[in-house]
Structure 1
Amino acid sequence: MQFQVRKMQKADWQRVYEIYRQGMKTGLATFTVEELTYEEFDQERLSVGRLVILDDEEVVGWATLKQAYPKIPEYDGVAELSVYIDEKYQGKGTATFLMEQLISVSEDEGFWMLESDIFSNNPGSIALHEKCGFRQVGFREKIGKDSCGTWRDTVLMERRSRRIGND
């Protein structure tokens, strides 16, 4: 497949949200289960590093960055990433391609570290992150309850840039 990546636009929101809802329904991707407006999404994500991946002009995945520690200026180069892929495109290299693009953009923007907090029962996401140079740095037992009231564990993973912050 030939994928194209471009900056996310507000007009992509409906499709981005559809893919996000797919992730919510799996119970493997996020604690979030409530409705989310574009304005809320826009507020919590950085304006840089918002990407969509296209297959023949259709958005089939998206990725964003969040400031990891927004009130601590010394951590301005640390961001949390999110990557979501349409279920029909999972396992086809789509997420790897998109994450590699996001890593490149993040380094161009001066981020020296990316982190991800992944449900421990999501081996596909953990493997994707490892493939893209992340390493496991922590395990958080019972960090929060999901929508059914079940405690969930997460794996904290990080990727240190080889280009930025190595002085």
Structure 2
Amino acid sequence: MNKVPMTAGGFQSLKEELRWRQQEERPRIIEAISEARSHGDLSENAEYHAAKEQQSLNEGRVNELEDLVARAEVIDVSKLTGEKVKFGATVVVVDEDSEEERTYQIVGDQEADVKSGRISISSPIARALIGKEVGESIEVNAPGGARGYEIVRVQFI
């Protein structure tokens, strides 16, 4: 059973989604199935089939969330220190071509959100950053070609 690294915030989000799916979404879907059943012939009842499909999708996600919560290895980023980039680090880099500064936090796969600067530990840029220190340069093979970055700051917040 492989552990899944995640931040405390990511773990809380998963637990909240699991609670919502089990305690709110599941009863709503059961009610929709019951309502559709009361309309008669199930073979041609689109509402019934749609509700059953929703139930299947919801239960699949519940199973996935239960698995992730059970295998979660919650890492308290505020207790991490050091000079090297590791899981949970917030890293400020400068694009060597455009001089544009970017900030990324390295998080678990489930909590990644590039728009808010949270990148997955398994992403190409995170893999290139892991183990490096301030002042070092990295090269990342991105879909648009290789990009060079210099690490400006590493912090754990």
TM over 0.5: no
Q: Which structure dedicates a bigger proportion of its chain to strand?
A: 1
The structure where helix makes up a greater share of residues is 2
**TM-score between the two structures when normalised by the length of structure 2:** 0.22
Computing the radius of gyration over CA atoms, which structure comes out larger, 1 or 2?
2
Normalising by structure 1, report the TM-score.
0.21
Q: Which has the higher contact order (CA 8 A, sep 6+)?
A: 2
